[in-house]
Amino acid sequence: MMALNVLAASFLTACAAGVIASATLPDRRVPAVLACTGSAMAMMLMAIGLTVLATGHLWSATLWTVAPFGALTLEVDRLAAVFITAMGLVCLPVSLFSAGYLLRYLGRYSLRSFGILYHGLLAAIALTLATSDVLAFLLAWEAMAILSYFLVNYEHEQREHTHAGYLMLVMGEAGTVAVMVAFLLLINAAGGLPFAALRHAAATAGVQTRWAVFLLSFFGFGVKAGLLPGSSWLPRAHPAAPANVSAVLSGVILNLGLYGIIRVNLDLLPAHLVGPGIVVLVVGSLSALVGILYATTQNDLKAMLAHSSIENIGIVTAALGAGLVFGASGEATLASMAYVAALYHMVNHSAYKGLLFLGAGAVDGGAGERHMDRLGGLIRRMPWTAMFFLVGALAIAAMPPFNGFASEWLTLQTLLRSVELHATAVKIVFALCGAALALTASLAATCFVKTFAMSFLGLPRSGAAGSAHEAAPTALAAMGILAAVCLALGILPTYTIPALSGAVAPLTHASAADALVPSFFAPATPGHALPASFVADFRTLGAQVGRHLLPGRGLIVLLRGGTDNPVVFAMSTSYAFPVLLGLIGLVYLAVHVGTRARTLARRPRWDGGVPRLDPEMTYTATGFSNPVRVVFNAVFHPSMADDTTEVVAEHFRTAVRRARVETYVADRFVADPLAGWSHGLARALAAMHRGGLNTYAAYVLLTLLLVLVAARLL
């Protein structure tokens, strides 16, 4: 406990030091300072988070007491610890990466203000996660929102960026208002601000209150998490920010939205209804599908990653929804498994999305270009960045042995457990959402094949891509750390799952770890014991392989049958990894030995005999993803902004100009109509203001009359 206090204090000190140093030192020194203080802060956060997760003890510290509002208490429970650890995991490499990356802004934008804002943002995020009462939470939340707005707006000379930042602020604040109303409803029932008080009063809440709180908090926090329908800001704001900030936005701040949803709906007011769970599941699945569709057709590296963030948050949310349904249906263990899957995927997303955003930043810095149509062939000029980006792409496309595979598979498997539910309608919804997520997973593979191939393979399609240079060593180290984390989380799920299960257990009162990572194949329940002979068979078959080689458990058990159905579904990425390495080695050896005797002739690529194969004769990113665009035309709903043919003389064309404009689906159905209505309302109100004294007097009279009538009727 003392140690954690010291850590927390030094975190705040480091933050203060960072702010002061940024404010006083000259611009060119700021990146280095930021890298030191930022990574120190991140490491302290990780230390706090891991300690709480490892010990399972809640850490709290009362800072001061203000008379009417009660004590300001910082508190980190295991749930918050997961988020804090993930945050540290992302912020450490991001801070390192910033050392080299920020220098591109030297002389153009103020690096001092960046330093101040960055340190402030880290502190605000950490405080948001560590508060234990509504007021402090909302204050920290607002600080985080405003600081992140400033950072998105950092390249303020670009009009598009300021617009994106403004949109993010407006939508975020609208979400916050909804969240505040939800909290007011809770406070109203509890009569106090601390989370503990709210938790205490939850049992007595009525169905209407539950629905109201759920809807307000889910959609309020959903805006921050980038869920449909409030995701319009995300694909604009994330690409607008500098790459390191994008990594924080995608890897950390989106998590805060999820944190809010989990904190309110799982902890403060645990759901007893199936309905909210279904809503969460459907919204999550739709967000995932729409996110990946747009990601697949996006050609700007960072915009693609932003859409892909919506997809991943959607998957996490779908798993949360499944957990809510399981929980409301009394399947506590299944609920725990779903929550574990959700948190696991969230942590994974933080890791690989951070990595990919840093990779995009490295590409942008090295080639000065992030549009895939104008990239290509970077693997020759930027081999290390290419390798790390490939790790990130494989991870996000859910390819073993990386982390995306473990969590996405777990999520899908958990959804399949819906067969154990009773309501048919719910099962159908689960099946449809499962199908949507499966489609999402396959599109994700398409999307990242395209991204990697179009950016790093082939011929350079622009001069910028042809003369790209490798990123700075600190940037490579930052990406290397995240790549290693992606691999570690992928091959060691049996260590990750118990830790996450510990965080989830207080919410569901059931342990997923015992179900998912059993110490050994004990029968699931004493009543349905597996036959002793079967257990013995399994033991001899090698379920225990590596028990003495690996320091921990190696298998994830997804389903255990009973006596009537003696089967066990299990997988082990930990065991699979060395096997995979061995197989690759064997293949390499076989090829090496088998072809040693032959002479190898290298010929230029076959081009059909054209005089010259140009980069402009190779597939572009647009071309690669065009089939997806054609098939899902209804979603993209393109319109032709320009379809002109220029002629130099009759029948002699000189140019065919075409431009396609797509309106983002959330804009089309939500943001644009809303904006239209508010414009209309504003115009109507403006029309009332004629400035005549008599008119205003009439308004006053009319209002008075209405109030009187209303009072009489009510």
Give CA–CA dist 11/421, Å, rounded.
Answer: 46
C-alpha distance from residue 333 to each of 266, 337, 343, 513 (Å): 15, 6, 15, 9
- DSSP-derived secondary structure letter, 131: B
Residues in 392-431 at the binding interface with another protein, rule: CB under 8 A: none
Pick between residue 548 and residue 651 the one whose CB is nearest to another protein.
Answer: 651
Q: Tell me how far, at minimum, the Cβ of 481 lies from another protein, in Å.
A: 35
When the beta carbons of 467 and 626 are compared against another protein, the nearer one is: 626
Is position 637 an interface residue for another protein (rule: CB under 8 A)?
Answer: no
Tell me if 103 contacts another protein by CB under 8 A: no
Q: Can you list the pairs that 198-201 forms with residues at least 24 positions away whose Cβ atoms lie under 8 Å?
A: 198/134, 198/268, 198/269, 199/267, 199/268
Pick one of 232, 350, 574, 625: the residue that binds another protein (CB under 8 A): 625
CA distance 499 to 518: 14
Give the interface segment with another protein, choosing from 4-12, 263-271, 528-536, 603-611 (CB under 8 A).
603-611
Note whether 602 binds another protein by CB under 8 A.
no
Asked if residue 318 lies in contact with residue 437, where contact means CB atoms within 8 angstroms, the answer is yes
Asked if 600 interacts with another protein (CB under 8 A), we say no
Residues 241-300 that bind another protein (CB under 8 A): 299
Closest distance between another protein and the C-beta of residue 373, in Å?
Answer: 5
Is 619 one of the binding residues for another protein (CB under 8 A)? Answer: yes
CB 652, min distance to another protein, A = 5
For the bound state, the minimum distance from the C-beta of residue 376 to another protein, rounded and expressed in Å, comes to 11
Which helix (H) or strand (E) covers residue 642, if one does?
strand 639-649
Produce one character per residue of 633-645: b if its CB has 16 or more CB atoms within 10 Å, e if not.
eebbeeeeeeeee
How far, in Å, are 684, 691, 700 from residue 687 at the CA level?
5, 10, 16
> Of the candidates 155, 267, 300, 373, which one interacts with another protein according to CB under 8 A?
373
Binding another protein by CB under 8 A: which of 614, 681, 701, 708? Answer: 614
Q: How far is the CB of 646 from another protein (least distance, A)?
A: 9
Q: What is the largest CA-CA distance in the chain?
A: 103
Q: Which of 611, 685, 690, 712 contacts another protein by CB under 8 A? A: 611
Given the complex with another protein, which of 28 and 658 has the nearer CB atom? 658
If binding is defined by CB under 8 A, does position 375 make contact with another protein? no
Q: Does 610 bind another protein (CB under 8 A)?
A: yes
Closest approach of another protein to the CB of residue 450, in Å: 11
Q: Phi-psi region for residue 604, left (φ > 0), alpha (ψ -120 to 50) or beta?
A: beta
Stretch of 212-220, 282-290, 466-474, 618-626 contacting another protein, by CB under 8 A: 618-626
Work out which of 463, 531, 623, 638 binds another protein, going by CB under 8 A. 623
Residue 18: phi and psi, rounded to 5, are -60, -45
Binds another protein by CB under 8 A, chosen from 204, 519, 533, 654:
654
Number of helices (H) and strands (E) in the chain: give both, helices first: 29, 6
661 binds another protein per the rule CB under 8 A: no
Query: Of 276, 292, 144, whose CA–CA distance to 212 is shortest?
Result: 276
> Near another protein by CB under 8 A, which window of 113-121, 228-236, 273-281, 646-654?
646-654
CB of 659 to another protein, least distance (A): 7
> What span, in angstroms and rounded, lies between the C-alpha atoms of 210 and 219?
14
594 binds another protein (CB under 8 A): no
Distances (CA, A) of 82 to 35, 211, 414, 498, 691: 23, 27, 21, 12, 57
HSE (side-chain half, CA atoms, 13 Å) at 486 = 32
User: First vs last Cα of the chain: how many Å apart?
Assistant: 56
Euclidean distance between CA atoms 705 and 691, whole angstroms: 22
Stretch that binds another protein, among 191-199, 239-247, 430-438, 616-624 (CB under 8 A): 616-624
- Candidates 2, 656, 688, 693: give the one binding another protein (CB under 8 A): 656
Which among 138-146, 267-275, 437-445, 623-631 is the span making contact with another protein, rule CB under 8 A?
Answer: 623-631
Q: Of residues 294-353, which lie at the interface with another protein (CB under 8 A)? A: 299
- Report the alpha-carbon distance of residue 294 to residue 625 in Å, rounded: 10
Applying CB under 8 A, which of residues 627, 638, 673, 680 lies at the interface with another protein? 627
Determine if 570 is a binding residue for another protein (CB under 8 A): no
d(CA 35, CA 696): 59
**Residue at token pair 């009362």:** 62
The answer to the question of residue 494 lying near another protein (CB under 8 A) is no
- Pick 564 or 616: Cβ nearer another protein: 616
Instruction: List residues near another protein by CB under 8 A.
Output: 299, 373, 601, 603-604, 606-614, 616-627, 629-630, 648-660
